[in-house]
């Protein structure tokens, strides 16, 4: 079997570990089936922590790796920092051997290492792969033949090969540890590190599709890597979808998110036209959704947020430039979606004006700073942009969010505000519904508010002259 390269005297270092190395796929699968396989998950955030709990609930002994000591301590103390994850879930995982650590030496003892670290954009809308690179450098001294390394972080096609495999190969050269790239006909022998990409398709706040029911796409560097990853994921997910390469799996994830970004932009644009034409866009979408084929409903809103939809498409835009290619749909969708907070701000200004209230000094309460309903995540949230826009107009802005008693400052915002109790709704000139958390009782809010601007169609069942939908 052809492997990456390299032989060297500095063999073994920490890499021999305590776990017997597997040399065949049959052995690997047996370790998964018997639950002897130890799983290491790097990055214990919104993706990595739920994944940890899923593996643990299926009987795997999981070790979580993170650079954030506070998170590691919190978990080892049996507590949680993600709203929908209860301390009982952490305790149940601990009972099955889960522990968190900042010490990457323990990577040597893992059979599978799944990387779930952030992949944001830089200020110039270029991919920031520094977290992935740092992680791969950190594990490189400890990886060994027979181990499976999977990148789950969303990224452009080519990352697994160009970054993960490259760094592991360079570091492995000093230790005689190779990334395995076997010829297509070889499916059984394992004599190197198995590397794959498997995109994370988690949908926070989605209570309808259990995570294990979301099929897991897997693309390995060779057939044994794909099969080993499918065996592992197949033990916790109902279905795995093997594809021919890591790049195919990377592109699959981007297609899914670009599809959403483009369709959301389309419906956001049509909303603006519908408002001018006096047509209710939500009624239109609901009617179109009755078509049994060829249409999937997307709903307008105040803009897009979260770690994925506003970010991921631009990974492809950036990579496409290497091929002299312009991703026009992605850019246009990005522009329309990014303009939505300004559009919402203008609707608030118009609604205040119609009431004879000057925007300068107007008291506006923004309901919901999370980027979508019932999540405790405000990354890229359009609410933050809307608040800044309203402040720019001279409005006196407050917010309410049951998930965020306080909002300080982040990379792109500096609010330094505290959540205003809903009992004070009547004190405001305008209440803007930016995020439709299910805790909000819309009837009560509309009854008490002087004016409601609704960017989520959250008041669709309420008739009131106080409501302006946008």
Binding piece for ligand NAD, criterion CB under 6 A, among 16-24, 66-74, 363-371, 423-431: 66-74
- Distance, in Å, from the CA atom of 400 to the CA atom of 386, rounded to the nearest integer, reads 14
Taking residues 181 to 200 in sequence order and writing x for each that binds ligand NAD by CB under 6 A, - otherwise, the string is: -------------------x
Task: Rule CB under 6 A: choose which of 22, 37, 42, 467 binds ligand NAD.
Answer: 42
Least distance to ligand NAD, CB of residue 366, Å = 23
User: Which C-beta is closer to ligand NAD: that of 298 or that of 428?
Assistant: 298
Is residue 143 close enough to count as binding ligand NAD by CB under 6 A? no
Binding piece for ligand NAD, criterion CB under 6 A, among 44-52, 91-99, 186-194, 218-226: 44-52
Task: Rule CB under 6 A: choose which of 56, 135, 169, 398 binds ligand NAD.
Answer: 135
Is residue 67 close enough to count as binding ligand NAD by CB under 6 A? yes
Least distance to ligand NAD, CB of residue 151, Å = 9
Least distance to ligand NAD, CB of residue 29, Å = 27
- Distance, in Å, from the CA atom of 94 to the CA atom of 53, rounded to the nearest integer, reads 10
CB 337 within 8 A of CB 264: yes
Is residue 28 close enough to count as binding ligand NAD by CB under 6 A? no
The residue nearest ligand NAD at its CB is 45
Least distance to ligand NAD, CB of residue 320, Å = 19
- Distance, in Å, from the CA atom of 430 to the CA atom of 452, rounded to the nearest integer, reads 6
- Positions 349 through 378 that interact with ligand NAD (CB under 6 A): none
User: Which C-beta is closer to ligand NAD: that of 44 or that of 150?
Assistant: 44
- Parallel, antiparallel, or unpaired: how do β-strands 99-101 and 61-65 relate? parallel
Is residue 156 close enough to count as binding ligand NAD by CB under 6 A? no
How far, rounded to the nearest angstrom, does the alpha carbon of residue 50 sit from its chain's CA centroid? 12
Is residue 48 close enough to count as binding ligand NAD by CB under 6 A? yes
Q: Could you give the maximum distance between any two Cα atoms of the chain, in Å?
A: 81
Least distance to ligand NAD, CB of residue 128, Å = 10
Least distance to ligand NAD, CB of residue 211, Å = 11
Task: Rule CB under 6 A: choose which of 66, 161, 374, 454 binds ligand NAD.
Answer: 66
- Positions 70 through 99 that interact with ligand NAD (CB under 6 A): 71
Is residue 127 close enough to count as binding ligand NAD by CB under 6 A? no
Least distance to ligand NAD, CB of residue 294, Å = 27
Task: Rule CB under 6 A: choose which of 4, 17, 40, 43 binds ligand NAD.
Answer: 43
Q: Is 470 a catalytic residue?
A: no
Binding piece for ligand NAD, criterion CB under 6 A, among 36-44, 166-174, 229-237, 346-354: 36-44
- Of 230, 308, 430, 470, the catalytic one is 308
Is residue 314 close enough to count as binding ligand NAD by CB under 6 A? no
- Distance, in Å, from the CA atom of 353 to the CA atom of 356, rounded to the nearest integer, reads 5
Closest CA to 377 of 389, 386, 387, 369: 369
Task: Rule CB under 6 A: choose which of 127, 172, 204, 382 binds ligand NAD.
Answer: 204
CB 322 within 8 A of CB 303: no
Least distance to ligand NAD, CB of residue 315, Å = 9
Task: Rule CB under 6 A: choose which of 3, 63, 147, 153 binds ligand NAD.
Answer: 153
Active site members = 308
Can you give the binding site for ligand NAD, defined by CB under 6 A?
A: 42-48, 65-68, 71, 116-119, 131, 134-135, 153-154, 200, 202, 204, 307-308
């Amino acid at each position: 079997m052809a492997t990456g390269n390299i032989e060297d005297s500095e063999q073994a270092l920490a890499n021999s570990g305590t776990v017997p190395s597997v040399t065949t796929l049959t052995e690997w699968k047996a370790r998964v089936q018997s639950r002897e396989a130890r799983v290491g998950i790097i990055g214990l955030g919104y993706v990595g922590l739920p994944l940890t709990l899923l593996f643990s609930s299926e009987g795997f002994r999981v070790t979580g790796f993170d650079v954030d000591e506070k998170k590691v301590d919190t978990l080892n103390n049996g507590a949680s920092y993600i709203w929908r994850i209860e301390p009982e879930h952490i305790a149940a995982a601990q009972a099955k051997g889960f522990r968190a650590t900042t010490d990457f030496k323990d990577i040597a003892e893992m059979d599978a290492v799944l990387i779930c670290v952030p992949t944001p954009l830089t200020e110039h809308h270029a991919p920031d792969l520094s977290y992935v690179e740092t992680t791969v450098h950190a594990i490189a001294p400890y990886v060994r033949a027979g181990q499976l390394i999977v990148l789950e972080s969303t990224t452009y096609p080519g990352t697994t090969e160009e970054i993960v495999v490259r760094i592991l190969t360079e570091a492995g050269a000093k230790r005689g540890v190779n990334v395995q790239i076997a010829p297509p006909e070889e499916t059984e022998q394992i004599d190197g590190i198995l590397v794959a990409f498997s995109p994370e398709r988690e949908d926070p706040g989605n209570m309808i599709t259990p995570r294990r029911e979301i099929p897991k796409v897997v693309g390995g560097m060779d057939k044994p890597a794909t099969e080993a990853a499918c065996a592992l994921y197949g033990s916790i997910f109902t279905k795995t979808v093997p594809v021919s390469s890591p790049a195919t799996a990377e592109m699959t994830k981007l297609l899914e998110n670009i599809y959403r970004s483009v369709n959301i932009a389309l419906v956001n644009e049509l909303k603006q036209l519908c408002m001018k034409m006096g047509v209710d866009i939500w009624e239109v979408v609901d009617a179109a959704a009755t078509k049994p084929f060829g249409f999937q409903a997307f709903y307008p809103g105040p803009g897009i947020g979260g770690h994925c939809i506003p970010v991921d498409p631009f990974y492809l835009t950036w990579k496409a430039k290497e091929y002299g290619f312009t991703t026009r749909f992605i850019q246009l969708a990005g522009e329309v979606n990014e303009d939505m907070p300004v559009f919402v701000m203008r609707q608030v200004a118009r609604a205040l004006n119609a009431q004879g209230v000057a925007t300068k000094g107007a008291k506006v309460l923004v309901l919901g700073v999370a980027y979508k309903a019932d999540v405790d995540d405000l990354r890229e949230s359009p609410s933050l942009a809307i608040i800044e826009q309203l402040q720019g107009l001279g409005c006196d802005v407050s917010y309410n969010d049951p998930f965020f008693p306080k909002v300080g400052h982040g990379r792109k915002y500096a609010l330094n505000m505290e959540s205003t109790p809903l009992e004070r709704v009547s004190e405001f000139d305008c209440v803007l519904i930016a995020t439709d958390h299910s805790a909000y009782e819309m009837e009560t809010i509309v009854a008490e508010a002087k004016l409601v601007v609704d960017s989520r169609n959250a008041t669709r069942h309420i008739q009131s002259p106080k409501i302006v939908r946008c």
